[in-house]
Structure 1
Amino acid sequence: MEKIIIIGSPGAGKSTFSFKLQEKTGLPLYHLDKLFWKPGWVLSEREEQIAIQKDLFKKKQWIIDGNYGGTLEMRIEACDTIFFIDTPRWRCMYHVLKRNKQYKNTSRPDMNEGCPEKIDLDFLKWTWNFKHKQRVDLIKQVNGAYRHKQVIVLKNQKEINDYLKGKKRD
C-alpha cells in the first residue's frame, strides 16, 4: 500500500480514519476538502481539482481522503488501495452533528482555513440520502476496480478499529 484513497459518506469517519492510517503507515496525507475549498467556502473549478490531483499522483506515496465523484475515477486509476468506509447512515448523521458542534465557527483540521464548520438542511438531507444515491455510484466505480486494486470495505467502528490494530477480519 503506497497510494491509498479513502471514500465514504459524510460523517462516516473518513478523515479520522485517514489521520490514524497516516500515523500507522507514515504515508503523506492529503484531504481533498482542504485542497479544493478556498476561504469563504469557494469551491475550486474542476480543472483546478484535476491539476491538484495530477500533482499528487506524481508523488511516490500518498493517502487521499475524499469523494468528489466528478474526479473519483482518476483517483481510482492512480491508487493501489481503496478504503470504502461504509458505516450506517444514522452513525454518519451523528458524526456530522457532533463535528458541527465540535468545530462550530472554526475550520476543522481536514478543511481549509476560512471555511468554518457549518451544516444546513440540504447537507443533512444529502448525508441522510447518501446511502441510496451517491453510495450506489461509489459502489459501481469501486466494483470496476476490484480486479486491479486492493479494496477494503469497513462497515462499522469495530471493523475500523480492528483494521487499525492489525487484527484479521473474519
Structure 2
Amino acid sequence: MRRVLVIGCSGSGKSTFARRLAALLDLPVTHLDRHYWRPGWVEAPDDEFRAAQQAVVVGERWVIDGNYSGSMDIRLPRADTIVFLDLPRWRCLLRIARRTLRGWGRDGQAAGCPEHLDPAFWRWVWRWHRGSRPHLLARLAEQGSHTRQVVLSSPREVTGFLNAVSVGGRE
C-alpha cells in the first residue's frame, strides 16, 4: 500500500482512519475537505480543487481521504488500494451528532469551518446510503478494478485492519 484512497459516508471515520493508516505506513496524508472548503464553508473553485488533488497524486506515496465523486477521476487511476468505510447510517449520524455536540472538529476539517448543526447536511448523510453509495460502488466496479479494494463495515473491522497493518507492516 503506497497510494491509498479512503472513502465512505460522512461520519464513517475517513479522516481518523486515514491519519492512523498514514502513520502506520509512514505515508503523507491529504484530507480533501481541507482543499475543498474555504472559511465559512465556501466551496473552492473547481479548477483549484482539481489542481490540489493532481499535485498530490503525482507522488508515489500518499493516503487521501474524501469522496468528492466529481474529481474521483483524478485519484482512482493512481490509487493502488481503496478502503471503503461502509458503516451503517445510524453509526455515521451518531458520530456526527457526538462530534458536533462535544465541539470536536473533524481530523481533516478545513480552517474556518466549525462543526454546526446543519439540517441539509444531516439529510444528505441520511440519504447517502441509498443515493451516493450505489453510484460510488458502481464507479469502483467500473474504474477501480485495477486496485485492491477493502470494505470495512464495522468499528471492529476497522480496528482489525489497522492492527493487521501494524503487525504486518505494509500488508
Taking structure 2 as the reference length, what is the TM-score of the superposition? 0.91
Q: Deviations over 1:108-160 (max 9, x none)?
A: 43112111112311111110111000001110111124531010000111110
Question: Are the aligned partners of 2:57 and 2:78 in contact in 1 as well (CA < 8 Å)?
Answer: yes
Identity %: 35
The residue aligned with 1:19 is 19
The residue aligned with 1:79 is 79
Whole-angstrom CA distance in 2 between matches of 1:45 and 1:160: 33
The residue aligned with 2:157 is 159
Quote how far apart the aligned CAs of 1:73 are.
2.4
Whole-angstrom CA distance in 1 between matches of 2:15 and 2:68: 14
Whole-angstrom CA distance in 1 between matches of 2:79 and 2:2: 8
RMSD: 1.4
Question: Are the aligned partners of 2:57 and 2:74 in contact in 1 as well (CA < 8 Å)?
Answer: no
Whole-angstrom CA distance in 1 between matches of 2:121 and 2:63: 25
Q: Deviations over 1:47-101 (max 9, x none)?
A: 1111111111122211000011111122111211100000000000101111112
Runs of 4+ in 1 over 4 A off after TM superposition: none
Q: What is the one-letter code of the residue matched to 1:164? A: L
Question: Are the aligned partners of 2:10 and 2:92 in contact in 1 as well (CA < 8 Å)?
Answer: yes
The residue aligned with 2:125 is 127
Whole-angstrom CA distance in 1 between matches of 2:41 and 2:110: 9
The residue aligned with 2:168 is none
Whole-angstrom CA distance in 2 between matches of 1:39 and 1:146: 33
The residue aligned with 2:135 is 137
Structure 1 range deviating more: 114-123 or 129-138:
114-123
Structure 1 range deviating more: 117-126 or 150-159:
117-126
Quote how far apart the aligned CAs of 1:39 are.
1.2
Question: Matched residue of 2:108: which SS?
Answer: coil
Structure 1: 5+ residue stretches without partners: none
- Alignment length (residue pairs): 165
The residue aligned with 1:60 is 60
Whole-angstrom CA distance in 2 between matches of 1:50 and 1:19: 22
Whole-angstrom CA distance in 2 between matches of 1:159 and 1:108: 21
Question: Are the aligned partners of 2:15 and 2:106 in contact in 1 as well (CA < 8 Å)?
Answer: no
Q: What is the one-letter code of the residue matched to 1:36? A: Y
